[in-house]
Chains A and B, each alone.
Chain A
Amino acid sequence: MSKRIDVSDLNVYYGDFRAVEDVNITLDAKSVTAFIGPSGCGKSTFLRTLNRMHEVIPGARVEGKVLLDGDNLYGDGVDPVTVRSQIGMVFQRPNPFPTMSIRDNVLAGVKLNNRRISRSDADELVEGSLRGANLWNEVKDRLEKPGSGLSGGQQQRLCIARAIAVSPDVILMDEPCSALDPISTLAIEDLINELKDEYTVVIVTHNMQQAARVSDKTAFFNIAGTGKPGKLIEFAETATIFNNPREKSTEDYVSGRFG
């Protein structure tokens, strides 16, 4: 199932340093939202607060609200572990578990919490998830081989298969193609287009053509200078951001006249 995310007045801190300031944004269900902006403007930081992955970093904390279809992720008694099983994440560098086979990688999330799953259900889930990640045909004959033996692009699709195997509501992707060659990048972009039929997809990218190709809406983040917090400058339909932005800094950035 796909869910909407509403963020209100979100500030993110690393210790005393405020990395992201006052973000208000709504990410629609069954759509792809792209985050763009210069590096260091807090895109990754903000993205990680959407599934509480920032809590892994010592000293990182959040003020504000993030609602998943109305439920506050930061409410009292909400377990980050539960949040992360609903909101999956794909990272910049492909990170399949090197000690697991391709099949076990796909099942890794499902086998958590000692959930029992029958052999046939597992087979079905592995095939379904790998098909969902457009990887099935390439790996169906070597499911028991290690995931680390795949190419970078295949590994990244394996990570996507692993993320969708737990049927999340939202999938967050932090520059998922930046370590990949152009062909693998296209494969992932095609996949993102298909994923939005079932999931809310949020993707950070530094590649503006990619944002234009895959996203429905685009959010532009910027910083006033080093040491200053990142801010959400403009959020609109992707076509608007690229052709007719409201803000001057957005226009400078998307037209490459930045900095």
Chain B
Amino acid sequence: MFSGAALGAGALIVAVLFAVALFLVVQALPTFSANPADITGGRGFFDYIFPIVVGTLIAATIALLIATPIGVAVALFTSHYAPRRLARGLGYVVDLLAAIPSVVYGAWGASYLASQLKVPYAWLAENFGWIPLFAGPASGTGKTILTAGIVLAVMVLPIIASLTREIFLQAPMLHQEAALALGATRWEMIRMAVLPFARGGIISAVMLGLGRALGETMAVALVLSSGPLIASLIRSGNQTIAAEIALDFPEAFGLRMHELIAAGLVLFLITLVVNMVARWIINRHKEFSGAN
């Protein structure tokens, strides 16, 4: 009975996924057969999609580079360092932050964070302008891809912190005690018996965070003053796929609509590839995972 229901649910998920993929492919097809000159930008689909794919990846990478170490550190602090009462409060706050709608983060980024970052950006441009990533002139509004990345980081950080905390709490006491009994300090114990155990879980948590960062529309749309692809993170410019779709879809018709759906298909594929890579990393060490 239960196994039947589980099988049904599993089949339903696969069917829905397949239906979505099919819809995307069918609706995207006209883009690929269209005259390249009719595509936005006038030089075919690849030239159109490439900059926003890169923009998407830049924003997501910035988000994860910031959110992963902080999220894991917050999780470890709550699970293994904080006194119990503080840990409970902190856990509650983190879970709450994870539930805040992205538009709120976007509004905060656009109305507060961006203007706060104007001065640091100008400083970066002045002192590190020789690095292409920080080439000036810095944006006058602070609405740059770096700001978008930071807002995304703030958004995904509670997700990563909350999920990894649960993993850390599940690390077997058995092995933690083994480490301590050998004369490990708390940090050594964490490195021996908690982090290796949590490795797969951390990667999964980061992937979920990445999924949210890749697909985020509102926060990016509000925070980024978009433009063509540029290397500098502190000038206005760049765009992400999700924000592009969200901003343009309401007015799109005909070929433009197919084009945006094709962009959605590309985003779908990026997510798929990223998840496959994560699976592969998790499985690579299966023999040593303790599952046997």
Contact = CB atoms under 8 A, between A and B. Distances in A.
A and B associate: yes
Interface of A: 51, 53, 56, 58, 81-82, 84-86, 88-89, 91, 93, 95-101, 108-109, 112-113, 145-146, 148-149, 159, 162-163, 166
A99 B197 contact: yes
Interface of B: 84, 172, 174-185, 188, 192-193, 196-197, 199, 285, 287-290, 292
Contacts of A85: 182-183
A88 B182 contact: yes
Contacts of A81: 183-185
29 contacts: A53-B181, A56-B176, A56-B180, A81-B183, A81-B184, A84-B180, A84-B181, A85-B183, A86-B183, A89-B177, A91-B177, A91-B178, A95-B172, A95-B174, A97-B175, A97-B179, A97-B193, A97-B196, A98-B290, A99-B196, A99-B197, A109-B182, A112-B182, A112-B183, A145-B287, A146-B292, A148-B290, A148-B292, A159-B178
B122 to A, nearest CB: 42
Contact of B188 (A53, A88, A100, A112): A112
Given A85-B183, A97-B175, A97-B179, 9 more contacts: A82-B183, A84-B180, A84-B181, A96-B178, A98-B290, A99-B196, A145-B287, A146-B287, A166-B182
Contact of B183 (A95, A98, A109): A109
A52 to B, nearest CB: 9
Contacts of B192: 97, 108
A109 B178 CA distance: 10
A95 B177 contact: yes
Contacts of A163: 181-182
Nearest to A162: B182
> 5 closest pairs, A vs B, by CB?
A98-B290, A85-B183, A109-B182, A99-B196, A89-B181
Given A97-B193, A146-B287, A149-B292, A56 B177 contact: yes
A93 B174 contact: yes
A100 B193 CA distance: 10
Given A85-B182, A163-B182, A166-B183, A98 B177 contact: no
B289 A84 contact: no
B182 A84 contact: yes
Nearest to A149: B292
A146 B188 CA distance: 20
A98 B290 CA distance: 4
B288 A146 contact: yes
B290 A99 contact: yes
Contacts of A148: 290, 292
Which of A53, A95, A100 gathers most chain B CB within 10 Å? A95
Contacts of A166: 182-183
A165 B182 CA distance: 10
A93 B172 CA distance: 12
Which of A58, A100, A163 gathers most chain B CB within 10 Å? A100
Contact of B289 (A89, A98, A112): A98
A112 B197 contact: no
B198 to A, nearest CB: 10
